[in-house]
A and B are shown apart, each in its own frame.
Chain A
């Protein structure tokens, strides 16, 4: 056993042995604090967490035995107890000697239960730190007293501030290695204050500690009489938690689930995000804006007189008004905003970079909508905090973008209410969570554009032409025969008296889209514009034929979603690469192979085949004429 270890203070609660009922009563009134520790392995983060677990008796004898064993075999403390080993979890990480994910640890004192999010410190793990910080009431930023404020200290502080954590502890660690010098400590604090001001951090609490030796962790250090502030654990025990702070805010609850066990009961279940609710309280349902009053707050334990931020409850209303999952119930006289365009900060979390214009799913509160993202206004260098120009965001990048959603959503600025201002973006094809976002404000223009109610509507346009509008979307490799077949189809439909229009590379790339190149991001934007134009043309009653490679499934899906059900007819012109390349009508494959042409689909840029195209034509077996005839028949059939 390490001779430097002090007796754990929180173990010996005599009440446990003497009066267990009194002990339980006391512990039943404990509160809970979630915090994150930021710092790298070198700052002694794992050691500090191990120390907190140890001092609060969260390590059992058998774990201690295996810890002592591991310390000898793989420890970094020369055979002495290596607290860091308690904390590092996955096998791969233990071998590499670093933590690479978010791990949650638990310990408790008489006053509080604690959940610690332990996240890695290096830049390549920014997303992990952001994840851990998103649920934290408080952050402990560790500094090695020998090193002072480093680049990574600034990065961690920036992220903590970005995620809106108001309670920050600056733990100046390894004081034992600088002779417990007050001067050194105050130098670091002065240095950090200067930086904190720069990033807009309102306040922080500096504490000099030694995780290894236990100074100022649980009890005041005999080595630093010059420090009179709280110990680390002392402060953790009394710092305020977010839910309690959100009670001062107007009432907000996102509806998770509508509870309808029978015809006599209709309740709206959710976790209160902010404020307080009481029966009789006047509320408003957003985005509809309908108002009523709360009839009762229903729980398994009986109806409540009031419920506060953080509680999961079920509300019933005095009137039967529409309300479903995704809606937000708010205090009637202090509703939140509703909008469909925002400025937001994004933290990109996926290997594939962000594609401006590509539709992603956006989950905020309890609702999921489709959203597109603009090019970043700027990207933030997390080390220097400089703003950089950027076309996209890669893994771990942070940037400010505009976002537009396919319908108006109730929200609040993240800084005011994280519950209605924080969101995630999901890739629609892989279902991966690709970004975390924080709303700043709604764009003015989203409040000013109103849909003009048209007297001559799309039905009227189509009726006059005596046809059902459609988009016949040809997709396939370059040289597969899309334009050739589309041309024949248009001639045939025209001959039958149908009103048609063909959009292809020639009339689009030279005009509307001549500012776009062939990067993935530009290809996405190209298709988005074509989709919007095609949609306007269907509103005008036309049968639109389009001939674009359109290599990505996501964008074809985006266009499909723009159209009314059944109006999008995907035609996969299925020509093997060898065949298309052998044809090489425009000589493009030759150029691409020789490297003169970059980002060429099929050569150095991917083509994602349709999985459920309405029509697939195989140009090896079918003549263009036969293929066109099949497509014409399909279009005519769906009209009858």
Chain B
């Protein structure tokens, strides 16, 4: 945010805007980590929240590049456009990019068509734990927000994990003022969520204001899709297994959330610019996670996943 927008009442006491305040808080959190961690890393999932978090990291450490690597825990099933942005964004930020594939999932050919929830468990949950252990990362930034889901409303900014990466909701430290207790025992690690207090609208607005590069899949375009179990799934490459009678059709669609392409539902849309996307978001009536297959079952399912180590 530029200097002109800081003082709006000329000489009078100025109140920072909500985005300025959120930005300042996120930067403070990131610097606190870098000043106290042994070996921090930023989890980068190529979505809009990751894009926002990476942008904030560039601001926090400017003129130095962010002093930690990016880690992408990959499933090999992301959209092609995501891989393109990932490599470009890391290079532009001057950061090392570490891509981790769970070797066991690789060997067994775990995929979203045959393996159901095992796909997420092995590639993402296990893969993340493997990568953190392999590189000895003691602190990992994640892009989760408190407004995403009910159990996250109580998540701390600094969230402690035991040596086997488990989250114990009863044993989290109180966070007072902006005094984060960053100390940890041997083998323990911390997940840090600098975007905790941002909402989905804040993220979009910030991306718009700061002109942040995001995956074009967020904007509407004619794309080949099939309708399956009530979701519109994009046929992004030749690995997609068409069921009997299924025939990809071109529809103007976009994505509100990005994950593995065979598991991510598109919405029909005409929003081709960021303001149009925001407009559509404000006028629609379903919450963000609806597009993901993971937590439909029961309200408390995300809390369970988190205890097991899913981000």
| Chain A residues close to B by CB (< 8 Å) | 16-17, 20-21, 23-24, 27-32, 60-63, 66, 70, 89-92, 94, 101-106, 108, 112-113, 115, 127-128, 130-131, 134-135, 240-241, 243-245, 247-248, 256-257, 259-261, 265, 267, 269-271, 298-308, 310-312, 314, 325, 349, 361, 363-364, 366, 418-419, 422-424, 426, 431-433, 436
B6 contact from A60, A257, A307, A424, Cβ within 8 A: A307
Known A89-B153, A103-B154, A304-B6; further 11 A-B contacts with Cβ < 8 A: A28-B209, A89-B154, A92-B169, A104-B154, A127-B174, A130-B176, A134-B177, A243-B15, A259-B61, A304-B3, A312-B23
Mask for B23-34, Cβ within 8 A of A = 1, else 0? Answer: 111011001101
Which of B18, B179, B185 meets A423, CB within 8 Å?
A: B179
How does the 8 Å CB contact mask read for B1-33 relative to A, with 1 for contact and 0 for none?
111001110000111111111111101100110
| In-complex Cβ contact of A243 among B16, B146, B205, B209 (8 A) | B16
Given contacts A31-B16, A243-B21, A271 and B2 within 8 Å (CB-CB)? no
1/0 contact string of B50-69 vs chain A (CB within 8 Å) = 00000000111111110000
For B59, list chain A residues within 8 Å (CB).
Answer: 299-301
User: Which residues of chain A come closer than 8 Å to B154, judged between CB atoms?
Assistant: 89-90, 101-104
Q: Which residues of B contact A304 (CB under 8 A)?
A: 3, 6
B19: chain A residues at CB < 8 Å are 28
A412–chain B nearest beta-carbon distance, Å: 13
- At the interface, yes or no: B239 with Cβ under 8 Å from chain A? no
Across the two chains, which residue of chain B brings its CB closest to A425?
A: B181
Q: Which residues of B contact A21 (CB under 8 A)?
A: 275
**Given A89-B154, A271-B28, A349-B174: A298 touches B300 (CB 8 Å cut-off):** no
Chain A hits for B287, CB < 8 A: 60, 62-63
A62 touches B290 (CB 8 A): yes
Q: Which of A20, A23, A131, A267 contacts B175 (CB 8 A)?
A: A131
Nearest B residue to A95, CB-CB: B300
Q: Are B283 and A17 in contact (CB under 8 A)?
A: yes
**With the chains together, A115 CA to B137 CA distance in Å?**
31
Asked whether, in the complex, the Cβ of B174 is within 8 Å of the Cβ of A312, the reply is no
- Provide 13 A-B residue pairs closer than 8 Å at the C-beta atoms, listed in order of the A residue: A28-B19, A28-B205, A30-B17, A63-B287, A103-B154, A259-B61, A270-B31, A301-B2, A311-B16, A312-B25, A422-B176, A426-B183, A432-B173
A134→B279 CA distance, assembly (Å)? 35
Chain A residues with CB below 8 A from B213, complex form: none
Listed from nearest, the 8 A-B pairs whose CB atoms lie closest are A261-B64, A32-B18, A61-B285, A312-B27, A113-B18, A300-B59, A60-B287, A91-B300
Inter-subunit contact A305/B197 (CB<8 Å): no
* Distance from A274 Cβ to chain B, minimum over Cβ atoms (Å): 12
B150 at the interface (CB under 8 A from A): yes
Beyond A243-B21, A271-B27, whether A16 also contacts B282 by CB under 8 A is yes
A256 pairs with B176, CB closer than 8 A:
no
Q: A265: which B residues are within 8 A, CB to CB?
A: 63
The answer to whether A108 touches B146 (Cβ under 8 A) is no
Q: A32-B18, A247-B14, A311-B20 are in contact. Are A269 and B153 (CB under 8 A)?
A: no
Q: Which residues of chain B have C-beta atoms less than 8 A from A306's C-beta?
A: 3, 6-7
Question: Which chain B residues lie closer than 8 Å to A303 at the CB level?
Answer: 3
On whether the beta carbons of B15 and A244 are closer than 8 Å, the reply is: yes
Asked if A90 and B35 make an inter-chain contact with CB atoms under 8 angstroms apart, the answer reads: no
A128 pairs with B174, CB closer than 8 A: yes
Name the one of B23, B24, B184 contacting A431, with C-beta atoms under 8 angstroms.
Answer: B184
The answer to whether A104 and B20 touch (CB under 8 A), given A28-B205, A257-B35, A426-B181, is no
Docked pose: A298 CA to B59 CA in angstroms: 10
B282 vs chain A, min Cβ distance (A): 5
Q: Which of B27, B147, B201, B276 has the most CB of A within 10 A?
A: B27
Q: A62-B286, A104-B146 are in contact. Are A90 and B179 (CB under 8 A)?
A: no
**Is A29 a contact of B153 with CB atoms below 8 Å?**
no
Q: Once the chains are docked, how many angstroms separate the CA of A431 from the CA of B278?
A: 43
B278 CB to closest chain A CB, in angstroms? Answer: 6
Chain B 187-212: CB-based contact to A (< 8 A → 1; otherwise 0): 00000000011010110010011000
Instruction: Give B272-310 as 1s and 0s: 1 = Cβ < 8 Å from A's Cβ atoms.
Output: 000110110011011100100000000110010000000
The answer to whether B151 has its CB under 8 Å from any CB of chain A is yes
Query: Do residues B303 and A90 form an inter-chain contact, with CB atoms below 8 A?
Result: yes
B19 to chain A, nearest CB (A): 7
List A contacts of B22 (CB < 8 A). Answer: 32
> Which residues of chain B in 124-160 are interfacial with respect to chain A, using CB atoms and an 8 Å cutoff?
146-147, 150-151, 153-154
In the complex, are the beta carbons of B183 and A20 less than 8 A apart? Answer: no
**B17 and A131 within 8 A (CB):** no
A302 and B178 CA atoms in complex are apart in Å by: 26
* Identity of the chain B residue whose Cβ is nearest the Cβ of A303 in the assembled complex: B3
- The distance from the CB of B83 to the nearest CB of chain A, in whole angstroms, is 27
Check B181 against A424 for contact (C-beta < 8 Å).
yes
Docked complex Cα distance between A74 and B22 (Å): 36
Who on chain B is nearest to A131 by CB? B174
Inter-chain CA distance A24–B153, complex, in Å, is 26
A27 to B173 alpha-carbon distance, docked (Å)? 34
Known contacts being A257-B34, A304-B6, is A28 close to B177, with CB within 8 Å? no
Q: Across the interface, which residues of B come within 8 angstroms of A431, CB to CB?
A: 181, 183-185
CB closest residue in chain A, given B146: A104
In the bound assembly, the distance between CA atoms of A260 and B34 in angstroms comes to: 13
Are A30 and B18 touching (Cβ within 8 A)? yes
| Chain A: CB-nearest residue to B27 | A312
Inter-chain contacts of A105 with B (CB < 8 A):
153
**Least Cβ–Cβ distance between B33 and chain A, in angstroms:** 10
Contacts A28-B17, A90-B169, A104-B197 given: A436-B24 contact, CB under 8 Å?
A: no
Contacts of A102 in B (CB 8 A): 154
Q: Please, which residue of chain A has its CB at the minimum distance from the CB of B287?
A: A60
- Residue numbers in A under 8 Å from B151 (CB-CB): 89-91
- Tell me the complex Cα distance, A212–B183, Å: 44
Could you say which of B16, B58, B286 has the most chain A C-beta atoms within 10 Å of its C-beta? B16
Per-residue contact bits, chain B 220-256, to A (CB 8 Å; 1 contact, 0 not): 0000000000000000000000000000000000000
- Given the complex of chains A and B, what is the CA–CA distance between A108 and B150 in angstroms? 18
Tell me which of B31, B208, B286 contacts A269 (CB under 8 A).
Answer: B31
* Cα–Cα distance between A62 and B289 once the two chains are bound (Å): 10
B176 partner, pick from A70, A300, A436, beta carbons under 8 A: A436
List residues of chain A with CB within 8 A of the CB of B17.
28-32
Q: CA separation between A89 and B179, bound complex, in Å?
A: 25
Alpha-carbon distance A271/B17, docked complex (angstroms): 16
Partner of B3, one of A66, A267, A301: A301
A305 to B285, CA, bound (A): 43
| Nearest residue, chain A, Cβ from B298 | A91
Which residues of the other chain, B, contact A244 by a CB distance below 8 angstroms?
13-16
